Amino acid sequence: MKNIPVLLVLFLFLSSFQQGKLVKTKVNDAITIYLPADFIAMSQADIETKYASAKLPVAGYTDFSRTADLGINVAFSQWNPEDLEIMRSFYKSNILGLYDTVQFIREDVEQIDGHDFAVFEFVSSVNDNDGITVDQSPVSKYVRIQYTIVKGKTVLFNFTCPASQREKWAPISRQILESVKLSKTL
């Protein structure tokens, strides 16, 4: 019985060491999030390469190997906070249209820092039917997306990594995205 407190402390230490320490990161004046200590901010060129879209993220972060990424975007929206369920259906349709296959792990509404967030967690695959790569095997990704509507803006967080790394990154991505803090100045 005397060893139980020692074992508990050892277990907690090893658990935190295994998943890495999260450090507070100020994205901008309105957004703060906790990221793994080894994550770095993406350069503008990295963001443009990884997120080929008309509306680039306000920030992007990646791990040392550049395989796990977090994109953060804020966009003006016609949606109101009470429209989150309708918007969630719309986003689900968009997700299904972006990939050849989607296996949803979770689709839910979760309260984080006093805001309701729509959360999608899934594994996606895109087939290389156009022969762009030599391999032509499907590209599979683990994705966790969450978004909310604040003051006429959609705030979106998008974590991605190869599906083969899902076991490693899924619990960490949950910790990261549940640490989001949005200020009233958003």
pLDDT digits (tens, 9 = 90+) for 155-169: 999 999 999 999 999
Per DSSP, 43 falls in state P
The CA distance from 147 to 58, in Å, is 14
146, pLDDT greater than 50: yes
* This prediction's pTM: 0.83
CATH architecture of 23-182: 3-Layer(aba) Sandwich (3.40)
Amino acid 13: pLDDT: 42
Burial class (CB in 10 A: 0-12, 13-18, 19+), 39: buried
Please name the residue ranges forming H helices in 37-165: 44-50, 84-98
Q: Which pLDDT tens digit goes with each residue over 31-67?
A: 999 999 999 999 988 888 888 777 889 999 999 999 9
The CA distance from 153 to 79, in Å, is 8
